[in-house]
Amino acid sequence: MTDELLLAKRLAAIETEIADLRRLARLDALGSDPVQRKFVLKSLQDAVQAALDAASHVVSEERLGEPISNRDVFLKLARGGAVDASLAERLARMAGLRNVLVHEYAEVDLDRVRTFVEHDLGDLEAFVAAPRQAYRLR
């Protein structure tokens, strides 16, 4: 059975990171301001990690199969009907970005990060909406 409190906490964490990024990120300063760069990269990492945690919980509890990678967690959600396939594919790419942020900090493509913050945060919001609706969470 899905732990709705755990799931709600992870979804709230995603929303907090998105709100912070939208309110505080100065994308024009990513290349020149190390504090801003660390804030943006860590916020993205935390948002995607919270999405992975939430997705992993649903995949496990709904018995959607054993994911072979972080990327596969989102694809399993789509195969189980929890999110649509195109959103799952975009989320899977976010898992790849998270891996880069965690493991290759010095080699992060700041243009990719900037584009992500400017255009792709809505995908995380769409992800949050899916389990909220399915489990009738606030």
Q: Which sequence positions are flagged as catalytic? A: 98, 103
**How many C-beta neighbours within 10 Å does residue 124 have?**
24
C-alpha span between 11 and 116 (Å, rounded): 19
Q: Which residues have a Cβ under 8 Å from the Cβ of 102 and sit 6 or more positions away?
A: 45
**Tokens of residue 110, six digits:** 């700041």
